Amino acid sequence: MAACSPKAGGTMDFAWTAEDAAFAKELDDFLKAELPPWWRGMFTSGERGWEYTKEFCQKIAKKGWLTMAWPKEYGGGDASLWKQVIFREAMARAGEPRGSQYMNTNWIGPTIMQFGTEEQKRYHLTRISKGDVLWCQGFSEPNFGSDLASLQTRAAQDGDDYVINGQKIWTSYAERAEFCFLLARTNQDAPKHKGISVFIVPMKTRGVTVRPIMSMAGGDDFNEVFFEDVRVPRSAMLGAKDEGWRVVTAVLNFERIGLARYEAAKWAVDEVIAYAKRSETHGRSLAKDPLLRQRVADVYARYRVARALNYRLASLMSKKGESPGPADASLTRIHNILMTRRAGDLAMEALGLEGRLSEGTADAPLAGMLEYEWRKSISATIAAGTLEIQKDQVATRGLGLPR
C-alpha cells in the first residue's frame, strides 16, 4: 500500500471559478437594475406581475440566459451546469421573476430533450428558449395523488388519433398555459406502471376545460382540468407508447432539484435577521433574544447543508463518468423542503403577531412577504411528491429496503 504522497491530484473545490463568480455578480447587478420597484415576487404582484414575467423571460432569453446550459442546437448556450445553478439561485432570491417558466427550463425542456422526436425537440425547445411559452403539468388526479401510477385518465386509440377522457387536479398555471404535459393511460390491461403514456396537449384543444381552485397561497395558479373527448394525433405523444413511467421518473428527478428553494429560504433568514435588528421586544433588541438567535442559526445551518447537497448533485451531474444515485434527488429534496418549512416557521416566529398581517394590509412587515413565504412553505413538503413519498424513494431505491 502506497504511503501518503505530497500534493498531487488536487482537491474537492467549494469555490466558484472567477468566471462563475463574475457571472453571479453580473446577474445580481442586472436584477437590481431590471426588477421594477413594485416587484415583490411571483404570484404576489397580480396580473401586472404575470405580464412582467413574460417580458422578463424574453429579455433574459435575448441575453442568452434563459436556457444557457442547453445545447446550441436547441436554443441554448452550451454553458456549464454551474452557470445554470448560479442563475437558478439568483432567480430564487429575486422572487422567481421567470414566473411559471422555471418549469420549462427545469424539467419540461430537459425531458423533451431526452425523449422527444427531432420535430418535438426543435419546435418546443426553441419556443421555450425564447421565453414565450407557458406550460402546465397534468399529473395528479382527484383519486390519485401520491399513488400517481394508478392514474385513470384514458387515451384511447382511434385510427391515427388518441381520444383523451379524464380529469387532472392541482394543475398549476393551467389557465395560462399553452401546452399541458399530460399523463394518460393507453393500456388498460398492463400493470399500473406499464400502461401510461405522455402527451403534449395544446390547452386550446376542444374538450379541455379549466376550473381554478383558490389555493392557500392565494393567486390563481391552482386548477382542475377536465378532458372530454379531447382528440390529439399520434404525434402529440412524447416517448414510447405505454412507457410513460420512464419519462415520469426522469421528470421527477429534474423537478425535485430544479428550484433553488434553499436560496428563497435564505432570503427569509436574511429578512428575519434584518427585522430582528430593527425591532425591540420587552425593552431589548429582538436580535439579542437568545432563543431567536438559536433558531436563526439553526435554519441558517440547514440552509448551508441543503446548498452543499445541491452542489454535490450538480458536481455529480457535471462530472464525466459520474451520475447521482437513484435516490439522490429525493434525498436532496428532503433537505430543501424541510428547510423551506423551517424558514417559513422561523419568519412567523420572529415577527410574532405582526407577522400574521397579510399582503395588502397596511403595517404588514415587508408588505406581508414573509407571511406569504410561510403560506408557500406549507406546499413545499407536498408538491412534486410528498415528504413521505421522497422518504420511500430514499428507503427503497437508495438503501435497498424491501417494499
Partner 1 sequence: MAQVYLGDDSGGDAGDPEGPGGDTRPGASEVAMDITLSEQERMLQEQARSFLAKEAPLELARAMEHDARGYPPALWKKMAELGWLGIPLPEAHGGAGLGLLELTIIIEEMGKALAPTPLIPTVALGAMAVAEGGSEEQQRRILPRVAGGELVLSVAYMEHGRPDLGWVRDVVATAAHKTKDGYTVTGQKQFAQYAHVADMLLVLAQEAASGKPLWLLVDRNAPGVTVRHLSTTAADHQCHVELKNVAVPSQDALPGDAWTLLERMLQRGAIATCAAMTGGAQRMLEITTEYAKTRVQFGRPIGTFQAVSHRCADMAVETEGARYITYEAAWAYSQGRDAALDVSTAKAYVSDAVREVMLNGHQAHGAIGFSEEHPVPLYSRRAKMGEALFGSASLHRERVARLLGM
CB nearer partner 1, residue 54 or residue 335 = 335
Q: How far apart are CA 262 and CA 180, in angstroms?
A: 28
231 binds partner 1 (CB under 8 A): yes
Binding residues for partner 1 restricted to 79-138, rule: CB under 8 A: 79-80, 82-83, 117-120, 122-124, 126-127, 129-130
Q: From the CB of 359, what's the least distance to partner 1, in Å? A: 26
341 binds partner 1, rule: CB under 8 A = no
| Interface with partner 1 in residues 29-48 (CB under 8 A) | none
Residue 326 binds partner 1, judged by CB under 8 A: no
Looking at residue 233, the DSSP 8-state letter turns out to be: E
Name residue 49's amino acid: G
Under a CB-based contact definition with an 8 Å cutoff, are residues 254 and 110 in contact? yes
**Ramachandran sector of residue 279 (left: φ over 0; alpha: ψ -120 to 50; beta: rest):** beta
Q: Which of 36, 142, 233, 360 lies at the binding interface for partner 1 (CB under 8 A)? A: 233
Other CB atoms within 10 A of residue 212 CB: 14
Cβ closer to partner 1: 161 or 224?
161
Stretch in the footprint of partner 1 (CB under 8 A) among 27-35, 246-254, 371-379, 386-394:
386-394
Q: Minimal CA–CA distance to 344: which of 368, 386, 365, 375?
A: 375
Distance CA 174, CA 131 (A): 17
Length of the chain: 403
Beta carbon of residue 13, minimum distance to partner 1 (angstroms, whole number) = 5
The alpha carbon of residue 176 and the mean position of all alpha carbons in its chain are separated, in whole angstroms, by: 17
To the nearest whole angstrom, how small is the minimum distance from the Cβ of residue 218 to partner 1? 30
According to the binding rule CB under 8 A, does residue 170 interact with partner 1?
Answer: no
Task: Fill in the DSSP letter of residue 397.
Answer: I
Per CB under 8 A, the list member of 23, 115, 135, 245 interacting with partner 1 is 23
Closest CA to 227 of 177, 171, 163: 163
C-alpha cell at 149: 401510477
Contact with partner 1 (CB under 8 A): which of 157, 280, 298, 360? 298
Closest to partner 1 by CB, 20 or 359: 20
Contact 114, 250 (CB under 8 A): yes
CB of 42 to partner 1, least distance (A): 22
Q: How far is the CB of 361 from partner 1 (least distance, A)?
A: 27
CA nearest neighbour of 139 among 91, 103, 115: 103
Element (H, E) at 253: helix 244-257
Of 55, 280, 308, 358, the one binding partner 1 (CB under 8 A) is 308
Where in 177-216 is the site for partner 1 (CB under 8 A)?
A: 200, 202, 204-206
Q: Of 257, 264, 334, 351, which lies in the binding site for partner 1, with binding defined by CB under 8 A?
A: 334
Compute the least distance from the CB of residue 358 to partner 1, in Å: 27
DSSP assignment string, 296-322: HHHHHHHHHHHHHHHHHHHHHHHSTT-
255 as an active site residue: the answer is yes
Taking the C-alpha atoms of residue 190 and residue 195, their distance in angstroms, rounded to an integer, is 5
C-alpha span between 101 and 176 (Å, rounded): 11
Count of Cβ atoms closer than 10 Å to residue 102 Cβ:
21
Q: Which residues inside 245-274 make contact with partner 1, applying CB under 8 A? A: 273
Which one, 109 or 219, has the nearer CB to partner 1?
A: 109
Return phi, psi of residue 310, to 5°.
-65, -40
* Binding window for partner 1 (CB under 8 A); candidates: 64-72, 147-155, 209-217, 244-252: 64-72
Q: Residue 164's beta-bridge partner residues?
A: 155, 230
Q: Residue 23 or residue 107: which is nearer to partner 1 going by CB?
A: 23
Does 163 contact partner 1 by CB under 8 A?
Answer: no
Least CB distance to partner 1 at residue 389 (A): 11
Q: Does 300 bind partner 1 (CB under 8 A)?
A: yes
Contact between 63 and partner 1 (CB under 8 A)?
yes
Q: Kindly name the residue from 89, 96, 141, 255 that is annotated as catalytic.
A: 255
Which active-site residues does the annotation give?
255
